[in-house]
Amino acid sequence: MVESLFFLLLLQLLGEAIVRFLALPIPGAVLGMLLLWLWLVASLPTPKKLEPLVRGILDYLTLLFIPAAVGIIEQKQRIVSDGWWLLLVLVFSTLAGIVAAAWVMRRLEKHDTYETPPGTENAQ
């Protein structure tokens, strides 16, 4: 567990360091994530207990959002004045994204089945 946590913290530190030294606009932890992703995809060796530690952290991920979420307490005025239309914008844009993604994927699927020779649809 200790090695795994050390490994994650080291990647987080590396990500933050690179972002700060190169003045990159992306969050340091995200760069740390991309580095770990490359590491894993390249099948490089990782600490033995990394998987269970990650599962443990991600199981309680929601808990970690609470301190930031409670900050909404300082936005009372903004919520009262802009809350309703912001809510509408957020809901509308989300549903528009769902429809757009589904529409594109369905279009591409029809294209796929068109190219598949008849009788082989279930051949997988």
Partner 1 sequence: MNVLWIDFWHWLRPSPLFGLTLTLGAFALGQVVARLCRSHPLANPLLLATIFIVAVLLATDVPYADYFEGAKFMHFLLGTATVALAVPLARHTPALRKDFVRIGAGILVGMTVATGSALALVWLFGGDATVLRSLAPKSVTTPIAIGIAERLGGLPSLAVASVMVAGISGAIFGIPLLRRMRIEDPRIVGIALGITSHGIGTARAFQFDVKAGAYAALGMAVTGALLAVILPLCFWLYSRLAALF
- By CB under 8 A, name the binding residues for partner 1: 5, 8-9, 11-12, 15-16, 24-30, 32-37, 39-41, 50-51, 53-54, 57-58, 61-75, 78, 82, 85-87, 89-106, 108-109, 112
Token pair, residue 85, equals 């239309």
Closest to partner 1 by CB, 5 vs 18, is 5
Give the residue among 63, 7, 62, 60 at the shortest CA–CA distance from 32: 7
**Least distance (Å) from partner 1 to the CB of residue 112?**
7
Mapping DSSP onto H, E and C, the string for 15-81 reads HHHHHHHCCCCCCHHHHHHHHHHHHHHCCCCCCCCHHHHHHHHHHCHHHHHHHHHHHHHHHHHHHHH
**Least distance (Å) from partner 1 to the CB of residue 40?**
4
State the DSSP code for 118. Answer: T
**Least distance (Å) from partner 1 to the CB of residue 14?**
10
Closest to partner 1 by CB, 2 vs 64, is 64
Closest to partner 1 by CB, 68 vs 119, is 68
Closest to partner 1 by CB, 58 vs 120, is 58
**Least distance (Å) from partner 1 to the CB of residue 2?**
14
